[in-house]
Structures are given as C-alpha cells and as structure tokens.
Amino acid sequence: MGTFDHLMHDQTLFSNPDALDPDFVPKLLPYRENQQKSIATAIHPLFHDRHGTNLLIRGGTGIGKTATVRRVLLDLDEVEEANDIPWIYVNCWKANTTYKVVVQLAHLLGFKFTQNMKTSEILDKISKILENKKGLVIAFDEIDKAEDYDFLYHVLEETTKKAILLITNDISWGKDLDPRIQSRLVPEILEFKPYTSEEIKGILKERVKYAFYETAWIPEAFDIIASRASEISDIRAGITLLKASGEVAERAASKIITLEHANQALEKTTHFKMKSTDDFSDDEQLVMNLCKEHSGKIIGDLYKIYQKQGDKSEKTFRRILDRLENKKIISLEATGEGFRGKSSIVNFIGTSRKLSDFTTFE
C-alpha cells in the first residue's frame, strides 16, 4: 500500500479553495461599504489632477482593514479615468526600512535594476517614472512595524499628486512622528469598528459560498465555527476554521462537513500559533525580554545590553521602548539623571494578550 493511497479519492468539498487564502479579496465586502466609499473619496481628486486625501486607517486585528483597502485598489484598475494613476501596496512588516520600501516602490513601478543603488538614486528613478503619471496611490499596511519613517518624508516631499493610505492596529500610532512628516502628512482618520456577531456570521456565510460546494456544510457545523469567530471578533480566525473543518471532513472521505468535523477543527485551536494586536517582531520581542529580565535599569544601561545582541541603533531601541510603553507593557519613570536630566528607569509591567489571529496549525 502506498503512502498516499488512503488520500487518493476524488471527493472534494472545496469548489474554490483559494477563497480561503489570506490574500483572497472577495468582490463584495459586506458591512464595509461605507469605508470603501471613504477610501474611494480620498483617491478621487487624483482623477482631476488634484491632490488626494491621506488616510490613517486603524482598528483591531481581523476586522477587514486590509481587505477593504485592497478591494478599493483592485476596483481602481477598472476605472478608465485612473489609467495613469498607479497604485502600490506595501506591507511594512516585510519592507520595514526606508531602503526596502524604496526598492519595493521602484520594482512595483517597473524599475527593477536597483541592485547596488543608493536610496537617493532609486528615489530619482521613481520621480522620473511618476513625471508621466497623473498621480499615485500608496497603501502602507502594518505601518507601525516600520523601523524608521524616512520613506514617508521622501514620498510626501518628492512625489506630486498622491493619496497615502496608512493601515495600523495601533491606535496610538503617529503621535511620535517627526514633526516634518506630521506637517506634510496630516491624514484624516478612518476608524474600523469590530464586526458584530451577526456581521461575522454573514461574512462567513458569503465566504462559504465562494469556497465550498453548495451542500458541503450542515447548519450546526457552520454555526459553531461562526460562534467561535464571534467570540474572538476575528474574521480571519473564522475563515481559517472553515478551511480546517473542510480538510478534516475530506480526510474522513465525508461528503459533508458535520458537527464532529467542526469540533475536531476547534479542538486544534489550542495548538494554533497565534498573533495578536500586540504581536511583536523579533526585535520587539528581544527588547521586551530584556526589559523583563532587567526591569529597574535605566535606559542607557539597558541599551548597552541591547547593543551586544548585534548592530542595533539607538533610534530603533527607543522606538521599540515607546511602542512597549504605549501598550502598557513597560513604564518609563523619569529619574532626572543622565544626559540633560532625561534618563528614565524602565519598569516591566507585563503583557495582556488575547487570542485574535489564527495563522496555522502546529
């Protein structure tokens, strides 16, 4: 008997499994129509050779911010008046430095030969490309994950007509931006409120229609998945559980997804790798651990320990401390000591994380 023999049956419950992928953007986004209109309104002045409106789009994890922005950007491709208005989507968790962001902007605008070029040289190439464009729309997702924000200054200063969309889970993001960036950015706030339980159920029903054959789910199985997603107020968690339930049923060679299959998927949630609205990059995790281990030390002493972990800038270190303080994981207590009396003691308070973003099974 071959290793895969027990899996080689023709039965599948998924009509379009891609609809359950994290990057899938449905044509219709229920309950986010007003936000879509607000984003479209911010972009619309570019059609008439005017500056667009910059938006700071914020709200918790898994409530449709990224999907809504990407839906509007995809719809922009279908607008004839926007033919000369390119759009760019950048995830600042992946492209987290000015150089990385600038390289990605150049690549997405069609200039690929960035190897061994300086940031300023690449910016010159970007400017030349945009000279022949009507405007530019840039979405910076996970903007709070960027290690520096010089790229924002460059985009604001060196591109003409544009609309900048900044997406974040961090409600306090932006208050510590360089004043030169703040004065040029001046974004309007677009808040995303959590979905209600009924809205979550409605969205998951729509996703089932996209992803599964019509008779795949029994109502009780779907209801228990929708209930769990509602408990943690996270659409992405619900979509992941839909997929997991279908896979459990397929492994059992079942023609339908039963309550038993859904419960088996739910049982695995205790073994999920989880993110949260307080999720940390590797560097943030390092600083948090140092704060916990050396709670009570002044910032200067803690930075010296941090430096020993590699080539770490003080600017990055201080930015991470500010982020941890904003999330009430540490407190900074001014001592009046140090350079110009600005030293502070770092006190570790702790974390208060919640289940909010399922990613994959362990």
Give strand ranges (E) for the chain: 55-58, 87-91, 136-141, 162-168, 188-191, 272-275, 330-334, 344-348, 357-361
* CA angle, 213 then 274 then 236, to 5°: 35
Q: Where are the domains of the chain?
A: 5-14+196-275, 33-191, 282-348
Residues forming a β-bridge with 278 = none
Answer yes or no: pTM beyond 0.85: no
Query: Do the bridges between strand 136-141 and strand 87-91 make them parallel or antiparallel, or are there none, so unpaired?
Result: parallel
Question: What's the fold here for domain 33-191?
Answer: Rossmann fold (3.40.50)
Q: How many other C-beta atoms are found inside a 10 Å radius of the C-beta of residue 275? A: 19
Task: Classify domain 5-14+196-275 by CATH number.
Answer: 1.10.8.60
DSSP annotation of 212 reads: B
Whether the Cβ atoms of residue 63 and residue 113 lie closer than 8 Å to each other: no
Name the CATH architecture for the domain at 282-348.
Orthogonal Bundle (1.10)
CA distance 226 to 220: 10
* Sequential pLDDT tens for the chain (362 residues): 555 555 545 679 999 999 999 889 998 899 999 999 999 999 999 999 999 999 999 998 889 999 999 999 999 999 998 889 999 999 999 999 999 999 999 999 999 999 999 999 999 999 999 998 999 999 999 999 999 999 999 999 988 899 999 999 888 898 889 999 999 999 999 999 989 999 999 999 999 999 999 999 999 999 999 999 998 888 988 999 999 999 999 999 999 999 999 999 998 764 444 344 345 667 788 888 898 889 889 998 999 999 887 667 787 888 888 878 776 688 888 775 544 446 788 988 764 443 333 333 33
In the chain, what are the helix, strand and coil shares in percent, each to the nearest 5? 50, 15, 40
